[in-house]
Amino acid sequence: MVSSDHVSFPAYLGVDVGGTTIKIGIVDDSGRSLAHGKIDTDHERGPEDGVRRIIDFAEGLFAEAGLNWEQIRAVGLGTPGTMDVKQGMLLHMPNMSGWDDFPIRSYLAEQTGKPVAFLNDANAAAYGEYWVGRGQEYDSLIMFTLGTGVGGGVIIHDTTLDGEHSHGSECGHIIIDSSADARQCPCGQFGHLEAYVSATSVAKRTQEMLADGAESSLQAIQSEHGEVSSLDVAKHAEQGDAFANQMIRETGHYLATGITSALHIIDPDIVVLGGAMNFGGHQTRAGRAFLEAIRQRIRELTFPVLEENTIIDFATLGSDSGYIGAAGVARKQFG
C-alpha cells in the first residue's frame, strides 16, 4: 500500500495494449506510478473480454495501492494498429484478430464510468517520457521506439502529434532510401526507416551479410540456429566481434538519417530512443557505441545549431512509458 501522504490526487488509470501483453498502472497527478502490472492480451478472447480483464486487474491494483475508483479521475488508453483517434475506434489491428472496427474508447468509458483518453501506443510512450522520463525538462520531444517494429511519437508543447487521420508521428515510416534496391517495410512500402532499424530488420540485414560470408563469431550462431537476433548482435559486439560492431554502427547511421529528417521538420529539444532494440543501452559498450554512432552521423547530417543543441539519448522509463504516458494524456484531457 502506498502511503497517501505522498500521493498527488487525483490519480489516473493508464493502459498500454500490446499484441502479447497489456500493461496497466495507476499513476498519480505527479506522474508517479502507484501500482502496476500486466496481463496477457489473449486477443482471441476479443476486446470486450479484454476490457473486462483490464478492469479486474485494475481492481487488484487499487487494493494493492489502497485506492478505489473514486480517486481515479480518468483512464488513458494506448493501442497499436490502425485507429481513428478522433472517433475512438480501433480500425485494423494486425495480430489481434477480433479487435478490428471496435469502438474501444466509448466501451471502456462505459465499463469504467470514467472519461477515456485514447491514442496511439507510441505517442503514449512518448508522452510518458516527456512528462516524467528523459524529456521531463524539455518543451518538445520525438521518441523512436525500436522493437519488433519502429514506433514514433512526437510531443510539441505538451500536445501529442496525433495527425488529422491518426497517422501523425509515424516516424518508423520516414523514407530513408528512395533507390530501386530499397528494403521493403512490413507496411508494404519501400525504403522506410523501420525496414532498416527494427529488431527484425537488424536480424535480417545481419543474416544476409553472414550468408554473404561476413567473417564473424555470429557465423556459429547462424549455423547452429539458422538465424541470429539483434540480441545476438549486441552480445557478440560486446565480446569484440568486429562485424557485429559494424552492424551496430550501420544501424545507427540508418537511424540517424531518419532522425535528421524528423529534426528538420519538428526541431525538438530532445530525441529519445526507446524500446528493447538498443543493443544494451547505456549499460553496455555496444549500446553506448550505438548511441555514439547515431549522434556522430546526425552531426554530419544536420545544421550547426541543431548539431550543437539537440539532445539525442536513450529513454529512461523502459516499458512503463506507455501506461504512464496514457495516464498523463488522460490527466491533460480531463485533469
* Interface with its own copies (CB under 8 A): 82, 139-140, 152, 154, 156, 161-171, 173-179, 187, 189, 254, 257, 260-269, 301-303, 305-306, 309-310
CB of 159 to its own copies, least distance (A): 8
CB of 120 to its own copies, least distance (A): 11
Strands (E), the chain: 11-17, 21-27, 33-40, 72-79, 82-84, 89-92, 116-120, 140-146, 150-156, 159-160, 270-274, 311-314
Q: By C-beta, is 13 or 263 nearer to its own copies?
A: 263
CB of 10 to its own copies, least distance (A): 27
CB of 142 to its own copies, least distance (A): 9
Q: Give the three-class secondary structure for 316.
A: coil
**Is residue 128 within a helix (H) or strand (E), and if so which, with residue range?**
helix 121-132
Q: By C-beta, is 58 or 142 nearer to its own copies?
A: 142
Q: Give the three-class secondary structure for 183.
A: coil
CB of 256 to its own copies, least distance (A): 9
CA separation for the pair 313, 272 (Å, rounded): 5
User: Please, are residues 106 and 73 in contact by the beta-carbon 8 Å criterion?
Assistant: no
User: Please, are residues 29 and 13 in contact by the beta-carbon 8 Å criterion?
Assistant: no
DSSP string, 254-304: HHHHHHHHHHHHH--SEEEEESS-STTGGGSHHHHHHHHHHHHHHHHHS-H
CB of 82 to its own copies, least distance (A): 7
CB of 153 to its own copies, least distance (A): 11
Buried-state track 45-74, b at ≥16 Cβ within 10 A, e below 16 = eebeebbebbbebbeebbeebebeeebbbb
**Neighbouring C-alpha atoms within 13 Å toward the C-beta of 250:** 16
In eight-state DSSP terms, residue 71 is G
CA separation for the pair 99, 107 (Å, rounded): 12
Q: By C-beta, is 5 or 164 nearer to its own copies?
A: 164
CB of 164 to its own copies, least distance (A): 5
Q: By C-beta, is 125 or 161 nearer to its own copies?
A: 161
Q: Which of 235, 237, 218 is nearest to 227 (CA)?
A: 218
Q: By C-beta, is 13 or 262 nearer to its own copies?
A: 262
Burial class (CB in 10 A: 0-12, 13-18, 19+), 267: middle
Q: Residue 238 — φ and ψ, nearest 5°? A: -60, -35
